[in-house]
Amino acid sequence: MRQAGTYSGILSGKMGPHLLPLARIKKIMKKSGDEVKMISGESPIVFSKACELFIKELTQRSWMVTMQGKTRTISKEDVASAVMATDLFDFLVNLVSGEATTPLEMETKI
């Protein structure tokens, strides 16, 4: 039996601040596929931590690329390079190679 108090506390933020909004995480999870029907209360919480770890790892790797140059500003190309250099991030390869043409800018012109 799940302890309702514990989990509702988590979701309503009584637990203390989360770094990432749980409702948004849940939305993104739902959009990942039609077969995703139901999501337990704790999975967005697990994801919020997983995303934090992911962001930190990718940031660290991007920074290593940045440091090879003269600037101290991480550019999107640095992030893309970090993705290309890491097998674990293969699933992102298409996403970052598409970044180069900034599709949003293209769309606005229409």
Partner 1 sequence: MDENVAASGSNDDDGIREQDQLLPIANVGRIMKQMLPQNAKISKEAKETMQECVSEFISFVTSEASDKCRKERRKTVNGDDVCSALAALGFDDYAAPLRRYFNRYRDLGVDNKAANQDKANNDSNSNEDREEQSSLKFSMIGISKNSSMRPID
Q: In a 10 Å sphere around its CB, with 0-12 CB exposed, 13-18 middle and 19+ buried, how is residue 25 labelled?
A: buried
CA distance 102 to 77: 12
Nearest CB to partner 1, comparing residues 33 and 68: 33
How many CB atoms neighbour CB 27 within 10 A? 11
What character string, x for contact with partner 1 (CB under 8 A) and - otherwise, covers 68-107? ----xxxxx-xxx--x---xxx-xx--xx-xx--xxx--x
Helix (H) or strand (E) holding 19: none
Residues of this chain that interact with partner 1 (CB under 8 A) are: 3, 5-6, 9-10, 14-21, 24-25, 27-29, 31-33, 35-40, 42-43, 45-47, 49-56, 58-60, 62-63, 66, 72-76, 78-80, 83, 87-89, 91-92, 95-96, 98-99, 102-104, 107-108, 110
